[in-house]
Structure 1
C-alpha cells in the first residue's frame, strides 16, 4: 500500500558499496521504483528481482511489505490516485468538484500510460481510492441524489473516466509509428472516402481530423455532467415562477 507520508529518511549506519547511505525500504519507495520500471519498460519488467535491483536491495526485502506482485500492483494503482489528489479540495459547486477531479485523474493516468493500462481496471481497496469514492458520492449527494441513485451515477461517471483513460493510455503505449499511421488516417483514408458510397463521412471529413483528444475528453465529460445535472433532484425542486 502506498501511504501518504513523507519519503523515508536514510537509514543510519546502512551504506552502499561506495560508502554512501541508502534510504531504508518503505512501501512508498518500493511503489515509486515500481512505477519507474513500468514507465521505462512496461509490465514485463515488473518483477521483485528487478525492483530489488533498482533499490539496491535483496528482492526478499520487498516481500516484507507486499505479499505478491498483485498486492504491489494495487498499491501502484492507489499511488496514481493519491498523486491526482495532491492539493485538491472539493469546490462549492458539485459539478466543478467532479469536473476537476476527473480531469486530474486522467492527467495522472496519461503521465504514466503503461501503469495506467494495468491500474484503471483494478479496485484498490486502499486509502486514495476510498477518498475518491467519498468525494464523488458527496458531490452527487450535494446534487440531491439519495444514496442508491448516487451510486448509479457514481459508477457511470467513474467507469467513463477510467475507460477513457485506459483507452488513451493504451494508445500512448503503442510505438510512435503506429500512432502516426492511425492519426493520419483521419486526414488521409477518411478524407478520400467517396461521397457516393459514404455521404456522411465525406461531409464530415474536413472536421474529423480536427478533433483533439484533450478537447474531446472535456467535451464528453461536459456531456456527462450536463446529463446528470438535468436529472438531479435539486433541479426538479427549483422554485416555480410566480403567476
Structure 2
C-alpha cells in the first residue's frame, strides 16, 4: 500500500518483520535449517509450520510454496543430514576405506542431530544427497568386484546396519539423562554383581563390559561387516587375466609387424 507521499512502506514490501528487522528471503534450504534447529531444540512434537514460520519471521503459509506438507519437509531434512555428512568427502581408491569413512561420517552427523535422526534414518528421501550416497556405495562395491545384483544385496545389508545402529544411538541419546545414567551404570553395578554360580559367562566378562566404548564399538562392528564383504568378493578370473595377457601379446606382435 502506498502512503500519502506515494512511498511504499517496508512492511508492505515484505522486507521488514514487525520488529523492524529485515526478513530473510525464504528458500528451501533456509526453511530446512530452521526446521533442523527446531528439532534439535524441542523435538518432533514442536515441529509445525507455524513454529518454523515464527522462527523465520514469516507467515506459515509461505512455507507451502516450497514444501507440500510436513512430511515433504521432513524428507528434505533427512536429505540435508546426508548432504552434511558427505560435504567435502571424496571416495578413496580403496573401496573398503571409502565405505568405512562414509558410514562413520553418516553416523557422526546423525548423532549431532539425534532428534532429527530418529525421524530421518527410517525414511527414503528420493533426493540428491541420498542418490549421491547410494551411487558412492554401489561404486565402491563394484570396485570390490560385485556385479550389480550382488552389489545391491550388500548395499542394503550395509546401509540398513548403519541406519539401524545410528537410529538406536540417536534414540538413546534423547532419553532422560537419569535413565541414561542408570543404564550405563548397570555394567559396573547390576552385571558386576551377578553370581558366577548362575551366570558364569557374565561373571567372567563383567570386568570388561563397562570398557566397551560406543564409537569404538561401532567401528569394530562396521569392520566385521566389511571383513565379511571382502571375504565374499568375487575373486579375479584367472582365465580372464590369461586372456587379457594373450590379447596384449597379440597386439604387441601386430605392432612389431
What is the TM-score when the length of structure 1 is the normalising length? 0.91
Secondary structure of the corresponding residue to residue 23 of structure 2: strand
The equivalent residue for 1:124 is 125
Write the distance in 2 (CA, Å) between the matches of 1:234 and 1:44: 51
- Alpha-carbon shift at residue 235 of structure 1 (Å): 6.3
Does residue 1:105 correspond to 2:78, yes or no?
A: no
The equivalent residue for 1:187 is 188
Secondary structure of the corresponding residue to residue 178 of structure 1: helix
Q: 1:41 to 1:235 in 2, by over 3 A?
A: farther
The equivalent residue for 2:45 is 44
Write the distance in 1 (CA, Å) between the matches of 2:61 and 2:235: 55
Q: Deviations over 1:179-232 (max 9, x none)?
A: 000000000000000000000000000000100101100000000001101111
Q: 1:86 to 1:39 in 2, by over 3 A?
A: same
How many residues are treated as equivalent by the alignment? 228
The equivalent residue for 2:115 is 114
What is the TM-score when the length of structure 2 is the normalising length? 0.86
Unmatched 5+ stretches in structure 2:
1-12, 242-257
- Alpha-carbon shift at residue 23 of structure 1 (Å): 1.6
Does residue 1:134 correspond to 2:147, yes or no?
A: no
Write the distance in 1 (CA, Å) between the matches of 2:173 and 2:143: 36
Q: How does 1:1-243 map onto structure 2 within 5 Å?
A: 14-234=15-235
The equivalent residue for 1:8 is none
Secondary structure of the corresponding residue to residue 36 of structure 2: helix
Write the distance in 2 (CA, Å) between the matches of 1:63 and 1:235: 54
Write the distance in 1 (CA, Å) between the matches of 2:202 and 2:236: 38
Which structure's CA Rg is the greater one?
2
Check conservation: 1:229, 1:235, Cα contact below 8 A.
Answer: no
Check conservation: 1:39, 1:115, Cα contact below 8 A.
Answer: yes
Q: Deviations over 1:28-56 (max 9, x none)?
A: 00000000000000000110110110100
Check conservation: 1:77, 1:120, Cα contact below 8 A.
Answer: yes
